[in-house]
Chain A
Amino acid sequence: MESLYLLIPIALVFCVIAIRLLLWAIDNGQYDDLDKESWRILDDDDSGREKDHKTHRDEDNGPST
């Protein structure tokens, strides 16, 4: 049971990391619009053909940076 003295601090470290990550994401505005994000996840598995089309357009317009 001595392992608790090691495992509990490790768990706390992970917890602190998780909290820091979450706070960073909130301050970064990633949770500002919960309505849109719930929809966006359904969108990204798009069909190959149109994706090709899209990439093609990007090249037409030059580098986007």
Chain B
Amino acid sequence: MTDANASKVCFHCGDPLLAGSDFRIVIGHELRDMCCPGCRAVAQLIADSGMARFYAQRTEYNLRPDSTLDDVSTEAQFQLYDDPALAATFSEDDGDGLTRVRLLLGGMTCAACTWLIEQSVTQLFGVKSAVVNLSQSRLDVVLDRERLPLSRLFARVAALGYSVKPFHANAQREQMRREYRSDLRRLAVAGLGMMQVGMFAVALHAGELQGIAREYEQLLRVVSLGVTAFIVMFSARPFFSSAWRHLRHGALVMDLPVALAIGLAFTASAYATATGTGQVYFDSVVMFTFLLLLARFAEKRARLAGSLDWFDAESALPDAVLMRCGDDWQRQARQLLERGDRVLVRAGDTVPIDGVVGSGESAVREDAFSGESLPRSVSRGDTVFAGTVNTDAALDITASGSYGDTRLAALQRSIETASAEKPPIAQTADRIAGWFIGGILLATGATAWVWYSIAPERALWTALSVLVISCPCALALATPAALSNAANALRRSGVLVRGEGALESVARVTHVLFDKTGTLTHGELAIGRVLCLDGTSRTDVLALAAALQRYANHPIARAFADIAPAGGVSGVRFDVGRGVSGIWRGHTCRIGSEEYCRQIAPSLPTQPDGAGYWVAVTLRGQPLAWIALEDALRDEASALTAELKSRGTRLELVTGDHSRQAAVMGNKLGFDAIRVGMSPQDKSAHVAALQKQGATVLMVGDGLNDAPVLRRANTSIAVAGATDLARTQADFVIMDGDLHRVTRIIDKALQCRRTLYQNLAWALGYNVVGIPLAALGYIPPWAAAIGMSLSSLLVVANSLRLARPLRRT
């Protein structure tokens, strides 16, 4: 954030400044430029409350705040949360007159945001404490509701430029939190216990070399036994319970030899302590437990990083709606809506419920469902769906059911079905493990039996050596270590890895399916060709068009947002579904459909033939230009498809769009198959059919309508700007929208698989050599323990090579 940059982009959000805009304020003794009143209000609040230092601390720009909010309307908007019944769904009284409130935040871009929010909320009168959990985007506030109404708390966070919603607990989320804590408890106890037992072990080993009185040796052994027993019972319990659970179902899992090794080494050492003979291996037992727990904890944490599991389809809907009560519109909680209720949806709002339009004329954006970027015109009698956005004018709709009956809820349910039907991931290590474990147990048993008939007193210890040397520590670590390091490397290069075992599936991908809108394209209309008629200049026409579109809420208008508008346009009127008209220098001008513009300019030529959505511009009977608006292809899309094709993967385009354009684009990019007009269910069914033929499918998508297929595919990638719901269903999320990351993910997955095979080869090779030697009695248990540790270290070190970030190509 240098000064040179600051002069061109908004100091708060980093968006480019529009020519002619002037929103400046003093922050930290310097005059800073802002792009809009929204950013200025937020920056002013931050500076006024003495937290300007935030700007020096942050590592990313903030998101641009919703400029429609102002102080009065924000507090009014959140007023419904003061209702005790609704408040009870996300807060709890802790008995001392204080209330604990949990809020879900949106728009946090870096860790400095947590500082800003905590500081700012703590300053409010009546707040006892405020803590932000960055990884869950959650804000916990303890406050006195007598002194601070909840609406003011919401308004404060919103005023800082973050979106805020109640954080509703759900079972899955609670489960995750409990698991995380109990994993951490086990790890902590194992770590501290390892230090204790290790200390005694050093004394015992020193004693073996220098001589130690029998009495003290026995003391140290007994104490070690006590500490180890506690750790085995407390920390190693999951290994035992998992091994037993799977064994009952006849499955041999990695946890079985782990549990056996821990159990047998502990029992044998306890026996040696009790009888005062042989060797004790308490230190090996606890170290083994700790290292395994650590590896699993690290792997789980990498997997959960950036997870958004608590978003569901419903969270896209507004919490408050304007409902007809008697003769008045009143603010109500959305959850209370029922069939027959009348709801007012203002322009720009998300439709909260499926319903029939009673009055009003507008257009709704349904890109969430259909992938179609242009809105559909609706009027009296038409049906609108929850989750779509009303673009033009207020609509009065009558609900046709409650949330559970909506198309959005149906989509959410189809995601759940898809996840239940998803083919299970066959993990290489687990496949090998079953055989391997069976082999180990046979070898151990055979060794014990043979030695029992030769020299009974050595049978137990030789068998233990076999078990320890073949201990699957390296094998058990091989997979999680490789996967977590590869995931970390990807995260550093801007890709979140979410799915379990996703990297392994990516390495086997045969089919790559792409969504069109928002994935291969930018998902927003942009100005394409401009056909100037009548000798007008392109700049003038675009400036006039921008002036007319300036205050429109239509997706077309956004294409003109970056163009400096012509001055002096007045009397702007929106004609829903047709166009915009206004007065410029005393003459009527219009921009819109062919028919609409021909009304004032009969000489308008017919719409040119060409891809895109065409609008005409006319001024006082004179046609000025035809402007093509198109959803432009991402720059790197053709390079990506060419690269994927050269690797021999089959490419398919599946899109909800049924225009001719989709097919043209698909052919140009060299797709092997193009399927247009696909509903979310069609996409899922298509993937299922491919999977039945033995294909491993990678789906790349972004929209709400892609969510079920992202979940259904063997593995999936969501691109930047993807809806929250799509992100939660995808295994990978590309954060910066660079499609080249798709090939990088595949490269990393291949490299990860190579490392995994090396790890497994080493672990198996080591055992092939070690087990016969141990079985013949050449390797004492202590040497076996050292060999096992070195073997594990080697596997971890090999996996660390994966952590290097991807090379730029």
Interface segment out of the listed B179-187, B432-440, B550-558: B179-187
Q: How far is the CA of A58 from the CA of B710 in the complex (A)?
A: 49
Please state if B50 and A33 are interface contacts (CB–CB under 8 Å).
Answer: no
Is B449 located at the chain interface by the 8 A CB criterion? no
Contact with B along A26-43 (1 / 0, CB 8 A): 110001111110011001
Q: In this assembly, does B135 line the interface, its C-beta being within 8 Å of a C-beta of chain A?
A: yes
- The answer to whether A33 and B134 have CB atoms under 8 Å apart is yes
Determine how close the nearest CB of chain A comes to the CB of B198; give it in whole angstroms: 12
Q: Which of B49, B135, B192 is close to A33, meaning CB atoms less than 8 Å apart?
A: B135
Give, as a whole number of angstroms, the nearest-CB distance from B533 to chain A. 57
Q: Are B52 and A18 in contact (CB under 8 A)?
A: no
Is there an interface contact between B124 and A36, defined as CB atoms closer than 8 Å?
no
Contacts of A40 in B (CB 8 A): 111, 115
Complex interface: chain A residues within 8 A of B181 (CB):
26-27, 31-32
Complex Cα spacing A40 to B181, Å:
21
Measured in the bound complex, the distance between the Cα atoms of B188 and A33 in whole Å is 16
| In the complex with contacts A12-B227, A15-B196, A26-B181, A53-B219 CB distance below 8 A | no
Complex CA gap A4/B111 in Å reads 49
Q: Is the CB of B132 within 8 A of A61?
A: no
Residues of chain B lying within 8 A (CB to CB) of residue A58: 123
Chain B 97-139, CB-CB to A under 8 Å as 1, else 0, gives 0000000000000011011000100111111100011111000
- Interchain CB contact under 8 A, A43 and B57: yes
Pick the contact of A12: B49, B185, B223 (CB < 8 A).
B223
- In the bound complex, residues from chain A placing their C-beta under 8 Å from that of B188 are 19, 22-23, 26
A7 to chain B, nearest CB (A): 11
Residue of B nearest to A52 (CB): B50
Q: Roughly how many angstroms separate A26 CA and B128 CA in the complex, as a whole number?
A: 21
12 contacts between A and B (CB under 8 A): A1-B216, A5-B219, A15-B193, A15-B195, A36-B111, A36-B135, A54-B51, A56-B50, A58-B123, A61-B125, A64-B122, A64-B125
Task: Report yes or no: B196 in contact with A43, Cβ–Cβ below 8 A.
Answer: no
Task: Tell me if A's interface is mostly helix, strand, loop or mixed.
Answer: helix
Q: Which residue of A lies closest to B129 (CB)?
A: A64
Q: Which of B48-78 contact A (CB under 8 A)?
A: 49-53, 57
Known pairs A26-B181, A61-B124; list 5 more (Cβ under 8 Å).
A12-B227, A15-B192, A19-B192, A57-B123, A61-B125
Residues of B near A15 (CB, < 8 A) are: 192-193, 195-196, 227
> Which chain A residues border B53 with CB–CB below 8 Å?
46-47, 50
**Quick check: is B189 within 8 A (CB to CB) of the other chain?**
yes
**Which A residues lie within 8 Å of B227 (CB)?**
12, 15
Name, among A1, A31, A32, the residue most crowded by chain B CB atoms within 10 Å (CB to CB): A32
A36 to B131, CA, bound (A): 11
Contact B132 A36 (CB under 8 A): yes
Closest to A57 in B: B50
Verify B219–A22 contact, CB threshold 8 A. no
Residues of B contacting A53 with CB < 8 Å? 50
The distance from the CB of B221 to the nearest CB of chain A, in whole angstroms, is 12
Please report the C-alpha to C-alpha distance between residue A61 and residue B134 in the assembled complex, in whole angstroms: 27
Complex Cα spacing A12 to B196, Å = 8
B804 within 8 A of A: no
**B contact residues, total (Cβ < 8 Å):** 43
Contact: A54 with B50, CB < 8 Å?
yes
> Which chain A residue has the least Cβ–Cβ distance from B195?
A15
B4 close to chain A: CB less than 8 A: no
Smallest beta-carbon distance A59→chain B, Å = 11
Kindly list chain A residues whose C-beta atoms are within 8 Å of the C-beta of B237: none
Give the contacts of B571-601 with A (CB-CB under 8 A): none
CA of A23 to CA of B49 in the docked complex: distance in angstroms? 37
B213: CB under 8 A from chain A? yes
Q: Judging by beta carbons under 8 Å apart, are B114 and A36 in contact? A: yes
Residue of A nearest to B184 (CB): A26
Contacts A15-B192, A18-B192, A62-B125; A26 near B185 (Cβ below 8 A): yes
**Distance (whole angstroms) from the CB of A29 to the closest CB of chain B:** 8
Q: Is B177 an interface residue (CB 8 A)?
A: yes
Residues 151-192 (chain B) with a chain A CB within 8 angstroms: 177, 180-181, 184-185, 188-189, 192
Q: Which of A11, A36, A61 contacts B133 (CB 8 A)?
A: A36
In the complex, A26 Cα to B53 Cα: how many Å? 31
Nearest-Cβ distance from residue B312 to partner chain A, whole angstroms: 22
Please tell me if the beta carbons of B133 and A50 are within 8 angstroms of each other in the complex. Answer: no
* Nearest-Cβ distance from residue A9 to partner chain B, whole angstroms: 9
B402–chain A nearest beta-carbon distance, Å = 35
Query: Contact check: which of B50, B126, B193 meets A50 at CB < 8 Å?
Result: B50
Task: Please measure, in the bound complex, the distance between the C-alpha atom of A62 and the C-alpha atom of B127, giving whole angstroms.
Answer: 11
Q: Are B125 and A43 in contact (CB under 8 A)?
A: no
B residues near A8, Cβ cutoff 8 Å: 219-220, 223
User: How many Å lie between the Cα of A10 and that of B180 in the bound state?
Assistant: 31
Measured CB to CB, the nearest residue on chain B to A47 is: B53
Once A19-B188, A22-B188, A61-B124 are accepted as A-B contacts, the answer to whether A35 and B111 lie under 8 Å apart by CB is yes
On chain A, the residues within 8 Å of B112 by CB distance are 39
Partner of A36, one of B128, B134, B195, B301: B134
Which residues of B lie under 8 Å from residue A39 when comparing CB positions? 111-112, 114
Q: CA–CA, A39 to B156, complex, Å?
A: 24
Q: How far is the CB of A31 from chain B (nearest CB, A)?
A: 6
A-B residue pairs, 9 tightest by C-beta: A53-B50, A39-B111, A36-B134, A33-B133, A22-B188, A54-B50, A61-B125, A26-B184, A62-B125
In the bound complex, what is the Cα–Cα distance between A5 and B213 (angstroms)? 14
Contact across chains for A35 and B50 when beta carbons are under 8 A apart: no
In the assembled complex, the CB of A23 is this many whole angstroms from the nearest CB of chain B, namely: 6
Whole-angstrom CA separation of A47 from B301 in the bound complex: 34
Among candidates A4, A36, A64, residue contacting B216 with C-beta atoms closer than 8 Å? A4
With A and B bound together, what is the CA distance between A33 and B105 in angstroms? 15
A31-B128 contact, Cβ under 8 Å, with A4-B216, A22-B192: no
